[in-house]
Amino acid sequence: MSTPTLTRQVFDIMDLNLWYGDHHALKNINFPINKKEVTAIIGPSGCGKSTFIKTLNLMINMVPKVKMTGEINFNEKNILDEKIDLVELRKNVGMVFQKGNPFPQSIYDNVAYGPRVHGITKKKHLDELVIKALMDVALWEEVKDRLTAPALGLSGGQQQRLCIARALATKPDVLLMDEPTSALDPISTLKIEELILELKEKYTIVIVTHNMQQASRVSDKTAFFLMGELIELDSTSTIFSNPKDSRTEGYITGRFG
């Protein structure tokens, strides 16, 4: 387990297997995730991308009858261990979903939700965190005059950026994104992509995408999944220009999926 490169790794997944009941959805996944890199996960639908990304913050535990074996080491600690503190894990590993899902509350309360849940009550401290998070997602200028307005009044793209801000407000190390732009128009998509490139200065990002251009634009590493298996994981340029596995090549050249 203690290889010299370990310090660069936030996550180190070893021999991960996952079953939904009898359905073997992830098969022997070995997957190191490096600090402050963007890792893109691509693959045809149903190949296990969402399943995989949901194991990283154990959101997968919300699905009944899931069984896992192997190790998911987060900062050198196996989170599949019984004793793991879910609250602490999810505070450090934020997640953004396919469709923006702001709470039906004010913009401010949405961003302050995470910090409040983790026990921060001082107005001044909350204000700081909220402003910082909104600035990080380049939403501050757009909403600073209406922080008390309902978050559901924002446009789709703004809602998604708000959800990113909400995740950032708990000061996570890692940000998981499951097809964060698939419900957005091209301009909002572009904004989120620019945002990802900025955020990777500070955060480790794992993004699931079915858009291969997006993967090539934003990511450092790309992982190709097929039918529950991790077929290939390499630098994005290698995956897109010179993949080792013929199935990867088939997928990126559009022969299937």
Ligand X SMILES: Nc1ncnc2c1ncn2[C@@H]1O[C@H](COP(=O)(O)OP(=O)(O)O)[C@@H](O)[C@H]1O
Cβ closest to ligand X, residue 45 vs residue 69: 45
| 157 near another protein, rule: CB under 8 A | no
Binding residues for Mg ion restricted to 171-230, rule: CB under 5 A:
none
b/e burial code for range 31-63 (CB count within 10 A of at least 16 → b): bbbbeebbbbbbbeeebbbbbbbbbbbbbbeee
Alpha helices, DSSP H, located in 57-122: 86-92, 107-117
Smallest separation, CB 154 to Mg ion (Å): 24
Residues near 226 by Cβ (< 8 Å), separated by ≥ 6?
43, 44, 47, 247, 251
Binding residues for another protein restricted to 6-65, rule: CB under 8 A:
57, 59, 62
Smallest separation, CB 51 to another protein (Å): 14
Cβ closest to another protein, residue 160 vs residue 216: 160
Question: Which residue of 95, 130, 212, 218 would you call a contact of another protein, by CB under 8 A?
Answer: 95
Residue 24, both tokens: 């073997």
| 51 near Mg ion, rule: CB under 5 A | no
Residues near 58 by Cβ (< 8 Å), separated by ≥ 6?
79, 84, 86, 89, 90
Q: Which residues bind another protein (CB under 8 A)?
A: 57, 59, 62, 86-91, 94-95, 97, 99, 101-105, 113-114, 116-118, 150, 152, 163, 166-167, 170
